[in-house]
Amino acid sequence: VRPDTQARVAQAVKLLNYRPNFAARALAGSRSYLIGLYYDNPSPDYVAALQVGAMRACRESGHHLLLEQIDSESPRAASDVARRLHTVRVDGVILSPPVCDRAEVLDLLDREGVAYVRLAPAGDVARSPFVHMDDRQAAFEMTRHLQQLGHRRIGFIGGPVRHSATALRRRGFLDAMAAAGLPVERELVQPGAFSFRSGVGCAERLLSLPRPPTAIFASNDDMALGVMAVANRMRLAVPQALSVAGFDDSPIAQVVWPQLTSIRQPVAQMAAEATRMLVRPDGAAGGRLLDFQLIIRGSTGPAA
Amino acid sequence: VRPDTQARVAQAVKLLNYRPNFAARALAGSRSYLIGLYYDNPSPDYVAALQVGAMRACRESGHHLLLEQIDSESPRAASDVARRLHTVRVDGVILSPPVCDRAEVLDLLDREGVAYVRLAPAGDVARSPFVHMDDRQAAFEMTRHLQQLGHRRIGFIGGPVRHSATALRRRGFLDAMAAAGLPVERELVQPGAFSFRSGVGCAERLLSLPRPPTAIFASNDDMALGVMAVANRMRLAVPQALSVAGFDDSPIAQVVWPQLTSIRQPVAQMAAEATRMLVRPDGAAGGRLLDFQLIIRGSTGPAA
DNA sequence: TTGTAAGCGTTATCAA
DNA sequence: TTGATAACGCTTACAA
């Protein structure tokens, strides 16, 4: 384009206060400039982080964020998605866990020819582009942190089996214990459900053991809070008598006293990265691994 | 339309698997079937509830939810809104606090001819349709609940001045105290900032008074949690030695021990109602008042 | 490099 | 009640 023509156009734009019409562009160009965020996660903190990241990336590329809550437990999940998709054609979809692991939903998206990127998928890694974090390594490093504080008997509280993160975090814990040559008795690994209440139950079992652990690593923050509540009730000072570690670094981690040592996941970045993969003209491909961060706060301290 | 023609059309729809094209409808009908949720609230719980309600109402009427986070503190708030609005024309906008109180943003929306409904606006009630809750009455009833438990000296922790709810909740507290003929010493009313940390500070001041209160009513849950943390540290049993009440009934209210007595706001309903006002063909008008709920849990008990 | 014209799939209008 | 036709404001392809 010749520079003077460009200038003339720019001037006309200014003069007429021209704004491209979104609907017309969408119709003629057969793209909507809309990115769908399909989520199904009970945690508002997680979802909020997701949205912040996705929105940031959308603005970089002139897209907008369309929100769709999907009930992935429901048998109608796929047909719900289908209905939403038929009314508004989005340019791409971000799928967060656990919807991202529902095969029927993926099948539908494939069939409709809608591009999608999965966030922390449980498996089937070749099926679509995805963004994830190394849950195993994070749990490994948290466990090592506790070991370095002198803890030898460490209790672990896992998550629900259907969550992809559950197995990875337990693996990281077990690997770190093995690497340090520390035995892990069966009763030191408790199955939780990512809820405060389940954390309470597991903590009660762990702390009433004949030889209770000196540290408990709960594989999410809600459960870690449950552990702290039990410690409080049993008059066990944290961290002097019991160290407590969580996972997720949710906002509540800083709203308890002492503040919770946890793992910060790059949730917003993951969503931003997924969005960028979607809007990139050459299309998305492969997987992308993002870094976590070990956040050490007051709830973990030297073993007695 | 003649019934047999209708049937023929329905058949053709089925046969051709016809789906109306969103972009074409938007272009020809000059409406987008998109509702914008413009929010600017630090609390993920609040925002999540907003979204759930708005999404529910959108689905009822075949609309979709477009998310826009606005930084209402920024001087560029209005021009940011303008830019977002120019690229995608939404059919209506839901404005949550505190964006809903930024005059430049309202001016802009008026100028652009975009319909909007405000959620819990601070004032200027004639300016646009709105949905709200009676914060004053809620604080009044919470205070009365404490009085009925026998509390006479009740501490109150307020919010930041720029929040519309702050004045209303304090008013409710003071009215209830006056109605019961109880004097309120100046030092029993502390200015908080809706944050955990500010709750801690205010609680420390209240509890180190020569004659400390037997109950503290914090005007949101985060601050109430701060109060509980201080009580814990001072070895004041809740609720035996100190009753604590919050406001908002955020999820954390059930994740502490004892669980927090609080006020449940109909946030999702408010957003749903606002959405319905926007999509209603005859247009929105006036204000709509929704009910709150007093949720009594373990953190409040009889005065010693 | 620039100008022209034909869709895109609806809504809205008007005539039949 | 029905059918035909002109916008809506862009993108894209092709001609100048």
DSSP string, chain A: --HHHHHHHHHHHHHHT----HHHHHHHHT--SEEEEEE--S-HHHHHHHHHHHHHHHHHTT-EEEEEE--TTSTTHHHHHHHHHHHS--SEEEE-TTGGG-HHHHHHHHHHT--EEEES-SS-TTSS-EEEE-HHHHHHHHHHHHHHTT--SEEEEE--TTSHHHHHHHHHHHHHHHHTT----GGGEEE--SSHHHHHHHHHHHHTSSS--SEEEESSHHHHHHHHHHHHHTT--TTTT-EEE-SB--GGGGSSSSPPBEEE--HHHHHHHHHHHHHSTT---SEEEE--EEE--TT-----
Question: How many Cβ atoms are within 10 Å of B148's Cβ, its own excluded?
Answer: 10
Q: The dihedral of CA A160, A164, A170, A173: what is its sign?
A: negative
Residues 6+ apart with CB under 8 A from A21: B27, B89
Cis peptide before B281 (omega within 30 of 0): no
* Residue B281, Ramachandran bin (φ over 0: left; ψ between -120 and 50: alpha; else beta): alpha
DSSP state of B248: B
Q: How would residue A298 be classed by pLDDT, with cut points 50, 70 and 90?
A: very high
Q: What is the per-residue pLDDT for A261?
A: 98
What are the tens digits of pLDDT across the range B182-237?
A: 999 999 999 999 988 899 999 999 999 999 999 999 999 999 999 999 998 899 99
Give chain B's end-to-end CA distance (angstroms, integer): 74
Length, in residues, of chain A:
304
Residues 6+ apart with CB under 8 A from A200: A226, A227, A229, A230
Contact flag, residue B27 CB and nucleic strand D, below 7 A: yes
Copy the structure tokens of residue B217: 């009513």
CA of residue B66 to C1' of nucleotide D14, angstroms: 38
Contacts of B20 in chain A (CB under 8 A): 87
Taking residues B113-139, report their average pLDDT. 93
B189-191 vs B154-158, strand pairing mode: parallel
CA of residue A7 to C1' of nucleotide D16, angstroms: 23
Pairwise CB contact (< 8 Å): A255 & B45: no
Cis peptide before A160 (omega within 30 of 0): no
For residue B72, the SS3 value is: coil
Beta carbons of B167 and B135 less than 8 angstroms apart: no
Copy the structure tokens of residue A284: 């998305």
Query: What's this model's pTM, rounded to 2 decimal places?
Result: 0.88
CA proximity to A142, closest of A119, A120, A175: A175
Pairwise CB contact (< 8 Å): A22 & B87: yes
Q: How would residue A55 be classed by pLDDT, with cut points 50, 70 and 90?
A: very high
Residues 6+ apart with CB under 8 A from A45: A248, A250, A251, A252, B44
- Decide if pLDDT at B282 tops 80: no
Q: What is the mean pLDDT of chain A?
A: 93
- Decide if pLDDT at A281 tops 80: no
CA proximity to B210, closest of B191, B188, B227, B230: B188
Residues of B with CB under 8 A from a CB of A: 19-24, 26-27, 30, 32-33, 37, 44-45, 47-49, 51-52, 55, 62, 64-69, 84, 86-89, 196, 222, 225, 229, 232-233, 251-252, 254-257
What are the tens digits of pLDDT across the range A80-133?
A: 888 888 888 899 999 998 899 899 999 999 998 999 999 999 888 899 999 999
- Decide if pLDDT at B283 tops 80: no
Q: Which residue is nearest to nucleotide C8 (CA to C1')?
A: A28
Pairwise CB contact (< 8 Å): A68 & B51: no
- Decide if pLDDT at B117 tops 80: yes
Q: Rounded to whole angstroms, how far apart are CA atoms A71 and B69?
A: 24
Q: Rounded to whole angstroms, how far apart are CA atoms A78 and A40?
A: 13
Taking residues A176-196, report their average pLDDT. 95
- Decide if pLDDT at B181 tops 80: yes
What are the tens digits of pLDDT across the range A122-157?
A: 888 899 999 999 999 999 999 999 999 999 999 999
DSSP state of B224: H
CA of residue B29 to C1' of nucleotide C12, angstroms: 9
- Decide if pLDDT at B284 tops 80: no
Beta carbons of B220 and B158 less than 8 angstroms apart: no
